[in-house]
Amino acid sequence: MESIVVYDTTLRDGSQGEKINFSAQDKVRIAQKLDAVGIHYIEGGWPGSNPKDIQFFELAKKLSFNNARLTAFGSTRKPNTTCHEDENLNALLRSETPAVAVFGKSWDLHVKEVMGNTLKENLAMIYETVAYLRSHGREVIYDAEHFFDGYKNNPQYALDTVEAAVSGGADFIVPCDTNGGTLPFEIQEIMEKVRPKIPVKVGIHAHNDCGLAVANTLEAVRCGAVMVQGTINGYGERCGNADLTSVVPNVQLKMGLSCMTEQNLRRLTEVSRYVSEVANMTPFNGRPFVGASAFAHKGGIHVSAVMKTPKAYEHLEPEAVGNERRVLISDLCGKSSVDYKARELGIELGGNGFDSRKIAKEIKRLEHEGYQFDAAEGSFELLLKRLTGQFKPFFELESFRVAIEKERDLPCRAHAMIKISVGDQNEITAAEGSGPVNALDNALRKALNKFFRVDLEKMHLVDFKVRVIEGRDGTSARVKVFIDSRDQEHVWSTIGVSTDIIEASWQALQDSFEHKLSHT
């Protein structure tokens, strides 16, 4: 199987995305993760541009990379100077990475109107920079910035810039669709013309401003590119870069070209979620291959077909990229969906006269009232057990009272008093919180700690959302409250529905604790 080289620029190009800010330590953690899954090149940053990247490369000198070649990124030398006087180039050398990537201008518009340079001097900058870095023993990856726009404007000069890099000794030439405005058929036309004229290995660097970065990357590979550049989750400036979590499985599983071992490919979903966690970005459920919804089925007809033969509605096995099949329960579900979820949860149906058909009917009724079980699988599991007589509550609410206190410019303070019963014993506790739900949470924890030897300190609320079901009634409208909770091993979601936001919050909170206790 022919091999394709994967070049990751999450730590440099990805960090230019809005709301993304990696510390030097964050970069170290991500670099080690990328190395562990067999990424071939990891672009760590631009050491000549900021102190954080300089710190990262200093930290990286103490690391061992088993699979990846760490790469420092920078630009060609400045106009009308020498390479050994250029501080940015010397910063690249001080990073001591085995490979360096430098970019130069391929579009005459940038050379003349943006840089105020001459076309001749730009060619000299490219040639001398590449030769200088090669003379210091570095592998050089030359990123031909704005190559496709430059070629469309002045084909000969765009090729001249590439020839300057080749003459200087570049190991890879990487044409870049820097503005992200090139269409796949244009990539094909240009690559078919220029690839035979480039005597070294060629790559592709695509941006996603037209939503085509992955498609353009695949088209370039089809036309002879052997290096794919991109970022995990497509993070990057403006609309982002080619998403490697889509590029890699498409190249390997659809085009039959090798990017990494099958074992490492099965870790792709893990890597995607790890990088989003370090970046403090909410994972996009609809992301192809690795998103939580990528292999999720909601319609009853879909679920019935998937249970018989998964390929009826799945283009590949989710396990191939480390994901999993999910069946979502909603008012669209049927008997097959309930049967599937019951088996998945290990719940026996038929108790209390509730078979899968009757349960599906009850779900449709509850969803009509505002419940949404595809987003609250913790509550759905409890519902199944309650309907079939397989659930005994761990505690019962007797009463609660919540008070909010506001003084002048001081923040609001919330107080909650709660009375619960466990068997024939009652417990009354009170607690404060930063809001009414937090106060209820704290009071309930105090009460439950008297009865159950469960380390509830390791369970905490991680998300709280309120949605108005129908807004025509204004402030008296019914609302649904979603609560996401987690402990050291699991994450689960619960829901409550009421015209009172506190009552809906209590329902979701109660289900969250019942779910935790039932799995202890």
All domains of the chain, ordered by start, with CATH? 5-260 (3.20.20.70), 296-387 (no CATH), 396-518 (3.30.160.270)
> How many whole angstroms separate alpha carbon 433 and alpha carbon 251?
51
pLDDT at 411 over 90: no
Q: What is the pLDDT of residue 345?
A: 83
Q: Is 495 within 8 Å of 511 (Cβ atoms)?
A: yes
Confidence of residue 119 (pLDDT cuts 50, 70, 90): very high
How high is the pLDDT of residue 338? Answer: 84
State mean pLDDT over 325-332. 68
Q: Which amino acid is at 45?
A: G
Question: Which residues, in sequence order, are CB contacts of 271 under 8 Å at separation 6+?
Answer: 33, 34, 37, 232, 245
Which residues have CB under 8 Å from 92's CB, separation 6+? 47, 48, 72, 74, 100, 102, 133, 138
What pLDDT shows up at residue 101?
Answer: 98
Pick from 210, 156, 167: which is nearest to 187 by CA?
210
End-to-end CA distance of the chain: 48
pLDDT band at 364 (very low <50, low <70, confident <90, very high): confident
Q: What are phi and psi of 490, to 5 degrees?
A: -135, 160
Q: Which DSSP category does 253 fall into?
A: I
pTM of the model: 0.76
Q: Indicate if the pLDDT at residue 475 is higher than 60.
A: no
Q: What is the model's pLDDT at position 105?
A: 96
Pairing of strands 227-230, 201-206: parallel
Segment 406-425 shows an average pLDDT of: 90
400 to each of 164, 198, 427, how far by Cα in Å? Answer: 76, 75, 12
Task: Give the confidence band of 62 by pLDDT, cuts at 50, 70, 90.
Answer: very high
Would the CA dihedral through 130, 133, 138, 144 be positive or negative?
A: negative
Cα(109)–Cα(146) distance, integer angstroms = 10
CA–CA separation, 194 vs 163, rounded Å? 11
- 131: amino acid identity, one letter: A
